[in-house]
A and B are shown apart, each in its own frame.
Chain A
Amino acid sequence: MHGLINRAIQCFVQDNYGFDRWQSMCFAAGLDEVEFEAMLHYEDELTDQLLDMVSAALKSPRDTVLEDIGTYLVSHPNVEALRRLLRFGGETFVDFLNSLEELPDRARLAVDDLVLPQLDVREVDPHHFRLTCRFPRPGFGHVAVGILRTLADDYGALVFLEHNGVLAGAEEIDITLIETAFAKGRSFEIGARAV
């Protein structure tokens, strides 16, 4: 698994609960490593182990942890760069939804060995979209729910999201667009540098 993913789990815990909490979780789980490097690769099993560890330590179901990680990734100031990169996907939330299919390619432009889930967006009707998410390891769909929920706020859109579980090997998420201009949203200037 790409180090960015393990690093994201680590940063989610330490930015929200403090480094000491993260360290004690890792020690308790008997992990050799506490610091994950974003640009290295790790065994896939380790990522599962980390998620189980965080889920147990926070006494929160794994799906909820994944969704919270998604929210963290696009809302915490420490990872503002990621929110900005996603906002380049489009000027409106619908544009953004339609750009999701490009996400794995976009990610590869920045980090060429980063493999993200394959995302497909289908417009059922103008107010209803269906996102399918294919990845060898299920669970990313919950991260996507966290990201979508938070970015909808970011765009000022009002949406309803439902994770339908795994169907035919892919996670399926229903997105109901209640209002595209519900609130003002957060500003996004393409020329402002995040880093």
Chain B
Amino acid sequence: MLHDRDIAQLLARLCPMHLAVDEQGRVMHIGPTLAKLLPDKRKEDACLFDLIEVRRPSGVCDMNALLARQRQKLSLRLRGHGGHAFKGVFVAVPGQGGILDLSFGIAIMDGVRDFELSASDFAVTDLAIEMLYLIEAKSAAMEVSRKLNQRLQGAKIAAEEQAFTDTLTGLKNRRAVDHVLPRLIDRGEAVTLMQVDLDFFKAVNDTHGHPAGDHVLQSVAHVLVQETRQGDCVARVGGDEFVIILVGEVDEAAVAHIAQRLIERIEAPIRWRGDTCEISASIGIATNAFGSGDTGETLWARADTALYAAKNGGRGRFRMA
């Protein structure tokens, strides 16, 4: 049967990666695509096992072993082609040897590229071309999605850079203060700027770790919001530095009262996972309420100086400029 030219041509068309052997394992004919993959010499008349190595199941290195494994899925490798793996199946033809049919399996992409195959090298019914199409189409779609993700990531970073919110505490941030303060002053509003700087905060971080430090900052933020009015601006402007802008005329005694309450509440021990964190705060205050003619910058500088004085006077105090 295998000597029949018609059968050989039929197989060449239907299974272009087949190989027909006689009972001794001698190659009778080779499908046109598989022939392209084999080294030039030693094709027909060669022994099957000199051309191809059966990797799985193990121990298939002669015709008897191969016959015993017929119709099973085989993992194979072409000798003389480092790395190229194939899958295949052997079907015996009683008394005449048999047919080994190969496929690239999952390694199709590398196989096609390395052996410069084209669509006509595959059987018309083979899904290889669809598979290649799909790999390429999916990579192209994935590339477009990847670019979209990159742009979204960029937009997110840009949005964060433009944000007015401190993500840890939910308070306003430095950028918000820089935006709001000059506008309030330009509008002729009376503003009182309180610079609140935490004392002993570094010790919390050093002793209890950064999660404890974050918790303390959040607790302080909570106090600052509770002790101020809705229209006031409360911001975290540095690691442990906060700013409160009181909007409208507030007399000195009321400001002093607020500052004192803030310090007392910030000094209250803060629980953290069974530990207690204790900090304090120094506050420097400056106001343009009485026609000081301050700009945002000078007001800020005066509050800074007052804060410095408060720190120098011992922690846990406030000073008015």
Q: Are A88 and B116 in contact (CB under 8 A)?
A: no
A40 to B144, CA, bound (A): 11
9-residue interface stretch from B27-35, B128-136, B190-198: B128-136
Q: Are A190 and B140 in contact (CB under 8 A)?
A: no
Known: A110-B141, A191-B112. A88 touches B136 (CB 8 A): yes
Q: How far is the CB of B6 from chain A (nearest CB, A)?
A: 25
Q: How far is the CB of B215 from chain A (nearest CB, A)?
A: 40
The yes or no answer to A192 lying at the interface (CB within 8 A) is yes
A88 to B309, CA, bound (A): 78
Interface residue ranges, B against A (CB under 8 Å) = 109, 111-114, 116-120, 129, 132-134, 136-141, 143-145, 148, 151
> In this complex, what residue of B is CB-closest to A84?
B136
Which residues A27-43 have CB closer than 8 A to chain B? 37-40
A81 to B143, CA, bound (A): 11
> In this complex, what residue of A is CB-closest to B134?
A109
B129 cross-chain contacts in A, Cβ below 8 A: 88, 190
A135 to B112, CA, bound (A): 37
> In this complex, what residue of B is CB-closest to A188?
B118
A193 to B135, CA, bound (A): 10
Q: How far is the CB of B179 from chain A (nearest CB, A)?
A: 25
Known: A85-B133, A88-B129. A110 touches B116 (CB 8 A): no
A66 to B296, CA, bound (A): 57
Q: Are B140 and A110 in contact (CB under 8 A)?
A: yes
Interface residue ranges, A against B (CB under 8 Å) = 4, 37-40, 81-82, 84-85, 88, 90-91, 106, 109-111, 189-195
Q: Are B133 and A189 in contact (CB under 8 A)?
A: no
Most buried by B among A39, A91, A109, A190: A190
B140 cross-chain contacts in A, Cβ below 8 A: 81-82, 85, 110, 194-195
Most buried by B among A81, A90, A189, A191: A191
A38 to B116, CA, bound (A): 33
A111 to B142, CA, bound (A): 9
Q: Are A39 and B148 in contact (CB under 8 A)?
A: yes
Q: How far is the CB of B90 from chain A (nearest CB, A)?
A: 27
10 further A-B contacts with Cβ under 8 Å, apart from A110-B134, A193-B136, A195-B143, are A91-B120, A189-B116, A190-B119, A190-B129, A190-B132, A191-B111, A191-B117, A192-B113, A195-B136, A195-B140
> In this complex, what residue of B is CB-closest to A189?
B116
A37 cross-chain contacts in B, Cβ below 8 A: 148, 151
19 contacts between A and B (CB under 8 A): A37-B151, A39-B145, A40-B148, A81-B140, A82-B140, A85-B140, A88-B136, A106-B133, A110-B141, A189-B113, A190-B119, A190-B129, A190-B132, A191-B111, A191-B113, A191-B116, A191-B117, A193-B139, A195-B143
Most buried by A among B116, B132, B136, B138: B136
Q: How far is the CB of A107 from chain B (nearest CB, A)?
A: 8
B132 cross-chain contacts in A, Cβ below 8 A: 88, 190-191
Q: How far is the CB of A174 from chain B (nearest CB, A)?
A: 28
B113 cross-chain contacts in A, Cβ below 8 A: 189, 191-193
A82 to B137, CA, bound (A): 8
Give the top 10 A-B pairs by smallest Cβ distance, nearest first: A191-B113, A110-B137, A191-B112, A88-B133, A81-B140, A38-B144, A110-B141, A91-B119, A39-B148, A111-B141
A171 to B112, CA, bound (A): 38
Q: Are A91 and B145 in contact (CB under 8 A)?
A: no
> In this complex, what residue of A is CB-closest to B135?
A193
> In this complex, what residue of A is CB-closest to B120?
A91
> In this complex, what residue of B is CB-closest to A110?
B137
B114 cross-chain contacts in A, Cβ below 8 A: 191
B117 cross-chain contacts in A, Cβ below 8 A: 190-191
A39 cross-chain contacts in B, Cβ below 8 A: 144-145, 148
Known: A38-B148, A190-B132. A106 touches B119 (CB 8 A): no
B119 cross-chain contacts in A, Cβ below 8 A: 90-91, 190
A90 to B130, CA, bound (A): 11
A84 to B109, CA, bound (A): 15
A51 to B117, CA, bound (A): 41
A66 to B90, CA, bound (A): 54
